Structure 1
């Protein structure tokens, strides 16, 4: 497959102090269970150690990242920060920590979103679905690495509850979700918590309670899969119920794995009575929690200390970014007194996966699965009646962006109910990738994925006609002002410098808007100053009224404020299933087999650049 398993390259060699350990591990040497730290540093009565260090490692938002591979580039994963991804990298970090601390003194936990997000995950959901005989690669890898527990993430429900239950049965460790309840009985749909017994080389065992909390937003995002089957209560409310139970059951340490961001907020506003991101609230409002492994927000938090408002106790939060790019490590110091263990301090940090090679044991374990997926991604899923290129999409109407807008708008429209179903649907798309091209003839997964190079998800929001015009005016700031009609090279028109973009407006902050059932047409008069460029705005040939209401298909980056487009952040959300737009495009081609621009792209352009009423001529 061309993967360099042992690569250290420009990312640096194995982290300082871990070279010998990593070398021994990669050579297949056993790790003594009592090696390294974690032992008692002093003794009480009868030889009982008086202090002990427990280490809990954590991952989150793996999103189907098993190996350090970019399926759409058909190459080793890389990004601008030179991050590495995947469980094979995580495995090496975990082995290092276990060798350093002594395996018996460590636990490994995940905070959810495991089975959706890469071509690997998609393949084993849709192409060769997991079953009693087909094991999910993520389950195989996590079992081999030796996880102790995992919280359920919201994306675990994307493929339906039966699929999730099949995955759950394949795991050697429990899936936890205290706030996921059976809709009929009100009983927990998953195990709320587990208590793991850690046995030091000497002295009394330590009981570690791990509470799993998932995201209330599942009720909205995967309504089609969970409605009438499961409901999702608040994280704080359920933690207040179960943490006391865990303490009564003898938990010396309480760790929460929460698939919920640290900074309190909700993408769904007040649609639900429980916040989406509530990890800090849990720390502040629920007694007796020592540490929280945070997930869902895809942020890197090495260590954040939050005080419990009732007790004044410090609670340590850590979030290891996403996709296996980091590993959170909690070092929990305990003291033995009065015949029991008590937590005396907690500290956390993150380790970077780009400092180590992939564990060849995991790479070998998944080699057959990897080959299937690579072959699939490079395989043909449909045909195109003519070639479509995004090379000119920044300055002229193209079938390539029309295709994205069509698929987005169609997906949103199909999910609308009630009065919203009667509203006209629009969509926005940006020229992300000038090199994207769909060839005439056979089309592969990789060809389609090139049109949409980001991991954005799709939402639908309501905007008025006035807001649509304001949105387009903001988008038109991308263009430089011209003196009048004529022929202009593209670079003399695009990427205008603005107060918020002193280096030039990036291509991804320019949006084209289109209608689904009827065309949305407009001119961008770049002879005028920014803010007054949109002319002739019409839907189906009728001028758009300021109070007219539209549903607009939009990506989560825009909807959450990315690019600072007006009107969108507070707009009512009518669709949010958290489905990746890139995968929607792939699914559409797979289902329809033929990509014909005549279906979604009109002969006459829906929008054009003008000086006054005269169209401009633009050269590459």
Structure 2
């Protein structure tokens, strides 16, 4: 131990759910925003500069989420991944694989891992039929100059098969994250020497930290609370996936979740004293550091410049014209009754898939809709996920159950219709409210949950519970994603293995002029 130190401090810095937000701009209008890794960089570097010992970790969902990362994946796949390039520059120590890392397929993920100057960790993503991690390794130990040894175990929500395109996870297994954590914590305790144990888990906290009451349906998607309260020996749990900003202590474990889109990062300070021949934890504290009005780091802007120029050229490609109105003035109103934008997206899905019933969503409340002159920028501003399409065969009972699930999006307060708080907290889930074309239906929110579908017709005839219906929807929903179990395991009649952004763009290019129409086949009342 150098200089006979009797005390030291470690600063753990965590980013999570950056989702491709490298540049500090909104691609919908190119206006500057107060987030993005280029802006997060200087505060991060300042924290590392001030720290005697630092450990910089990304907690997953890094390489997908913006037009820049989409354009790279589809049009520049042979170039170094732009997100990895910046993490290399910032000298990250490790990264954990998130669920969205698979959105562009394993080839792109494997290439990103191979280009990294840091290890990617995930103890519970395995090659099928083996116990071998498919990417990187389960854990790492970082030893500092003063002999301090810090173990880091990486975990990923095992719920990925419920969402992801099966072709993107072929040959992989996703064992339970909690069970894997328990197994590896025991292994580390018995076989490795370390002074602090960090678990970096791309998953969230499923229960309220203060009360232990479930904060969501306990599907196993998020297990952070259980990991903290049922596994002894963990000092720090880094979480993500839910896009929350959270700092708390659970069973002596310091827990942090630092938000999303590179708006902020987590900082955990751990002080140690050297006694009985090893470093002992004396104190821990945690905080979330906001970007606020930080300047973008020029070096990062330069490193990203070529990617950005090509992305902007692609985004500005004109692809079609709309006659009429497909704009979004109120996301809430769009979800209240049939409208030209949602009807158009559903019709494109039906055209691509050869189906006459379709479901889609307005994925986020910042969707601007389509202007009169449409470019690729407008496509990716509205359809923000790299979804493909599936046609599945369901029963009338399944269809009604799905509509009842969507009807839970609304609630009534003081006689007024509002968004059910469970769709906004702990994580916004507006993308889990579907709107349908090819059927006629009414949702009456004044009625009890489960009894809100008061009209449901197909071709002007009531939908029959035991009859079969072929419907098109995105691959996420077709696999039951968003807690739609009625779709899980249903017969898949067709798969359209092209991103919806490409399908929409091709539809515009083929037809040139699109007329905004609305047949008012559905409505929400209360």
Q: TM-score, normalised on structure 2?
A: 0.78
Residue 258 of structure 1 pairs with residue 201 of structure 2: yes
Change (3 A) 1:263 1:539: same
Residue 374 of structure 1 pairs with residue 374 of structure 2: no
Residue 574 of structure 1 pairs with residue 492 of structure 2: no
Could you say what secondary structure the match of 2:109 adopts? Answer: helix
Give matches, 1:85-484, under 5 Å.
Answer: 85-102=35-52, 105-129=53-77, 131=78, 134-189=79-134, 190-199=136-145, 204-247=146-189, 248-263=191-206, 275-301=220-246, 303-307=247-251, 314-380=252-318, 382-384=319-321, 389-390=326-327, 398-407=339-348, 425-429=357-361, 436-439=369-372, 443-451=374-382, 464=398, 467=401
State the alpha-carbon separation in 1 of the partners of residues 417 and 98 from structure 2.
39
Superposed CA deviations along residues 310-353 of structure 1, whole A, max 9, x for unmatched, are: xxxx1111010011111100101112111111222221111001
| Cα shift at 1:140 | 1.2
| Cα shift at 1:243 | 2.5
State the alpha-carbon separation in 2 of the partners of residues 280 and 173 from structure 1.
28
Q: CA RMSD in A?
A: 4.6
Bigger CA radius of gyration: 1
Change (3 A) 1:285 1:367: same
Change (3 A) 1:154 1:266: farther
Change (3 A) 1:269 1:223: farther
| 360-369 or 257-266, larger mean C-alpha shift | 257-266
Q: Which residue pairs with 1:588 in the alignment?
A: 503
Q: Give the conservation status (yes or no) of the 8 Å contact 2:13–2:267.
A: yes
Superposed CA deviations along residues 180-224 of structure 1, whole A, max 9, x for unmatched, are: 11113331223111111112xxxx411111111112122232252
Q: Which residue pairs with 2:210 in the alignment?
A: none
Q: Give the conservation status (yes or no) of the 8 Å contact 1:390–1:398.
A: no
| Cα shift at 1:238 | 1.9
Change (3 A) 1:261 1:573: farther
State the alpha-carbon separation in 2 of the partners of residues 529 and 222 from structure 1.
32
Q: Give the conservation status (yes or no) of the 8 Å contact 2:204–2:239.
A: yes
Q: Which residue pairs with 2:493 in the alignment?
A: none
State the alpha-carbon separation in 2 of the partners of residues 298 and 473 from structure 1.
24
State the alpha-carbon separation in 1 of the partners of residues 432 and 486 from structure 2.
23
Q: Give the conservation status (yes or no) of the 8 Å contact 1:409–1:553.
A: no
Could you say what secondary structure the match of 1:594 adopts? Answer: helix
Q: Which residue pairs with 2:25 in the alignment?
A: 69
State the alpha-carbon separation in 1 of the partners of residues 266 and 221 from structure 2.
22
Q: Give the conservation status (yes or no) of the 8 Å contact 2:102–2:169.
A: no
Give matches, 1:21-36, under 5 Å.
Answer: none
Give matches, 1:526-541, under 5 Å.
Answer: 537-541=456-460
State the alpha-carbon separation in 2 of the partners of residues 253 and 372 from structure 1.
44
Q: Which residue pairs with 2:416 in the alignment?
A: 498
State the alpha-carbon separation in 2 of the partners of residues 327 and 399 from structure 1.
40
Q: Give the conservation status (yes or no) of the 8 Å contact 1:390–1:437.
A: yes
Change (3 A) 1:346 1:456: farther
Superposed CA deviations along residues 341-390 of structure 1, whole A, max 9, x for unmatched, are: 1222221111001242222221222122212212221223x335856534
State the alpha-carbon separation in 2 of the partners of residues 496 and 597 from structure 1.
46
Unpaired segments ≥5 residues, structure 1: 1-44, 78-83, 308-313, 415-422, 479-494, 562-567, 577-582, 611-620
Change (3 A) 1:454 1:267: farther
Change (3 A) 1:600 1:402: farther
Could you say what secondary structure the match of 2:436 adopts? Answer: strand
Could you say what secondary structure the match of 2:71 adopts? Answer: helix
Could you say what secondary structure the match of 1:354 adopts? Answer: coil
Q: TM-score, normalised on structure 1?
A: 0.67
| Cα shift at 1:298 | 0.7
| Cα shift at 1:544 | 2.5
Change (3 A) 1:244 1:501: closer
Change (3 A) 1:438 1:345: same
| 398-407 or 352-361, larger mean C-alpha shift | 398-407
Change (3 A) 1:229 1:574: same
Give matches, 1:487-526, under 5 Å.
Answer: 498=416, 500=418, 513-515=435-437, 519-521=438-440
Equivalent residues, number: 489
State the alpha-carbon separation in 1 of the partners of residues 216 and 167 from structure 2.
20
Superposed CA deviations along residues 402-439 of structure 1, whole A, max 9, x for unmatched, are: 1222356688x79xxxxxxxx98442545968963343
